[in-house]
Amino acid sequence: MALFYFSRVFYLAVTIAIAIAIAIAIAITIVMLNFNEVGNSH
Give the total number of structural domains in the chain. Answer: 1
In the chain, the percentage of residues whose pLDDT exceeds 90 is: 67
pLDDT score of 36 more than 80: yes
User: CB burial class (10 A; 0-12, 13-18, 19+) of residue 33?
Assistant: exposed
- With bands split at pLDDT 50, 70 and 90, how would you rate the model's confidence at 42? low
Q: What average pLDDT does this structure show over 16-41?
A: 91
**Separation CA 23–CA 9 (nearest Å):** 21
Residues spanned by the domain of 19 = 1-42
